[in-house]
Structure 1
């Protein structure tokens, strides 16, 4: 029986092309995929015949639905956190490589883009969304936190939209993502093959993207944008909830939205929410490397804790949707414990110098 490769790497025209190739698994990112992509990107950086990178995926449902959290769960339950951390270490190094890549890096995102898929695309030069684009960072649902550089990207989005996405795990489509700046262009799904062919042929990347782009229509987020900016601009989770509760008790146009959002937040992992808030506070003062180093410190501690395994158990293993978080209330969380997640660790994340 022939096993399909998990990732396809090819040189075509002026482009180095990476194709995520696990459509039945929603192109979830594995350690093996990371280990294949990283050295090839470094080789293409040195290849004068490659003038741009194209990242895409097979299948119509997902670009990349995240990392393989069930595998990470199984490793941790067996006491092999070191293997899980090796994956995160290599993944974060790859995220940094993408964010500092010396050539245009174009992601063609048509389908679900979450977690690890965000890490593979968000730090590149250009992010193109098709009609099936669906983005979320839902880590707070499973006792994790919005990593893979979320600390760098999300707090820099306008009008507290990134804080809203980090806290709620809300799903958004291309129009909202373009409005927020997560996408640089929107292109109809049917035109993505023509865009890829044009990129392969060479020429100015920005001009090629502009020639194929279209207007996906008004962003639905505009309806509550001013309210989100005010409520989530606090950054502090308890202050956000207080603002949401106050609005929910009123008669403004955002009352129902505030009520639903507050209810959603109260269903998230309390420690994850507090970690996300600390990420959003620290991120604006750190470069991408600093953000990823901070995230590696946090994930090292999270993988040796309780909530991640409980969240995955409740949502993905037993599927009872009844996680028993520790602590189980935001008010019971010690801010010093959250801050300590970001303290230095003996085996810090370090990055190779340059793309070689």
Structure 2
């Protein structure tokens, strides 16, 4: 992870910080960013020193504005074909879940998040945003169907009507951070970038303090519950419980129970 050019990485204890680093392009993704993010998510699957991740972006103008208009695929420089039989979605492996990373990822959004940004926001576990953040999907305004991005957002807590409104209005309306919190897209709104780093770092550190097997089994259970029927998810419950339960994790939890009392935040 020393030769990254479109993202940066740092680690503080059990928390990893991934930052989109193309502010001159409003953190739009190109093939290099796709490859670097996918490789990083896959690396983190087996890096036991990282227990939770914060995903942010450089610059105050944009978290991510989707695909770079100068995007060039890596396979021989050939243009993508739009045949339904051969089309490869360029954002397919941008997100952590698409790369089978089942460690918590918190998005820290500051500025514009639009279009292909939802490949990332659709696969994080929760979102914290600054008051200045704005969310929208401009695809249809520019004559492009909005397909993958709104489909990913269906798995968040946004009402269907809000997803349809944001998608169909395209570039004509931007959702404020306050409205995003009202409808469940964002879990917390903070004043500015400094408060954003504090809030995301606090949440990630709190998660990282718990036994990782219990966290990952819980995470996998809840995402499965969103995609399966109620009974199918409950039937898998025993498997996830067994995967996340261990004598080591219980002993670690017992130390927390017997130790200094945790003073919880209120939100």
Per the shorter chain, which TM-score range?
0.5 to 0.7
2:16 is aligned with 1:16: yes
Deviation at 1:205, TM superposition (A): 6.7
Residues in 2 aligned to 1:79 and 1:52: alpha-carbon distance in whole angstroms: 37
| Aligned position for 1:292 | none
Deviation at 1:157, TM superposition (A): 2.7
User: CA offsets per residue over residues 198-257 of structure 1, 9 Å max, x none?
Assistant: 356x223799xxxxxxxxxxxxxxxxxxxxxxxxxxxxxxxxxxxxxxxxxxxxxxxxxx
RMSD: 3.6
Q: Measured at CA, do residues 102 and 174 of structure 1 come closer, stay the same or move farther in structure 2, by a change above 3 Å? A: same
Deviation at 1:145, TM superposition (A): 2.2
| Aligned position for 2:165 | 164
2:202 is aligned with 1:198: yes
SS at match of 2:18: strand
User: CA offsets per residue over residues 111-146 of structure 1, 9 Å max, x none?
Assistant: 000112121123211111112211101100112122
Is the CA contact 2:16–2:50 (under 8 Å) kept in the aligned structure 1? yes
Is the CA contact 1:35–1:90 (under 8 Å) kept in the aligned structure 2? no
Q: Measured at CA, do residues 152 and 27 of structure 1 come closer, stay the same or move farther in structure 2, by a change above 3 Å? A: closer
Q: Map of 1:280-319 to 2, 5 A cutoff?
A: 287=227
| Aligned position for 1:176 | 179
Is the CA contact 1:99–1:124 (under 8 Å) kept in the aligned structure 2? no
Residues in 2 aligned to 1:99 and 1:172: alpha-carbon distance in whole angstroms: 29
SS at match of 1:89: coil
Is the CA contact 2:54–2:107 (under 8 Å) kept in the aligned structure 1? yes
SS at match of 1:18: strand
Residues in 1 aligned to 2:37 and 2:101: alpha-carbon distance in whole angstroms: 13
User: CA offsets per residue over residues 6-65 of structure 1, 9 Å max, x none?
Assistant: 211232221222111111111111111010011211111222211111100111111111
User: CA offsets per residue over residues 83-122 of structure 1, 9 Å max, x none?
Assistant: 9x99953521333725964111100001000112121123
What number of residue pairs does the alignment pair up?
204
| Aligned position for 2:35 | 35
TM-score (norm 2): 0.65
Is the CA contact 1:178–1:186 (under 8 Å) kept in the aligned structure 2? yes
Q: Runs of 5+ in structure 1 lacking a partner?
A: 208-285, 289-356
Larger Rg: 1
Residues in 2 aligned to 1:35 and 1:87: alpha-carbon distance in whole angstroms: 18
Is the CA contact 2:14–2:51 (under 8 Å) kept in the aligned structure 1? yes
Larger % of strand: which?
Answer: 2
Deviation at 1:69, TM superposition (A): 2.7
| Aligned position for 1:188 | 191
Q: Runs of 5+ in structure 2 lacking a partner?
A: 211-225, 229-267
Q: Measured at CA, do residues 50 and 10 of structure 1 come closer, stay the same or move farther in structure 2, by a change above 3 Å? A: same
Deviation at 1:173, TM superposition (A): 0.9
| Aligned position for 1:347 | none
